[in-house]
Amino acid sequence: MAVALLTVLIVGAISGFMFPVTTFLFNFSSGQTRMGPIVQYGALAAVALSLVIAAIVWKARSPTAAAISAAIGTPVVWVVAVFVEWVLSFEFGVG
pLDDT of residue 26: 81
Smallest Cα–Cα separation from 47: which of 23, 88, 2, 77? 77
pLDDT of residue 46: 95
pLDDT of residue 93: 61
CB 63 within 8 A of CB 3: yes
Domain coordinates of the chain in residue numbers? 2-92
CB 20 within 8 A of CB 36: no
Please report, in tens digits, the pLDDT of each residue of the chain (95 residues total).
Answer: 889 999 999 999 999 999 999 888 887 766 677 788 888 999 999 999 999 999 999 999 999 999 999 999 999 999 999 999 888 888 876 65
**What is the pTM for the complete model shown?**
0.88
Residue 14 to residue 84: CA distance in whole angstroms:
18
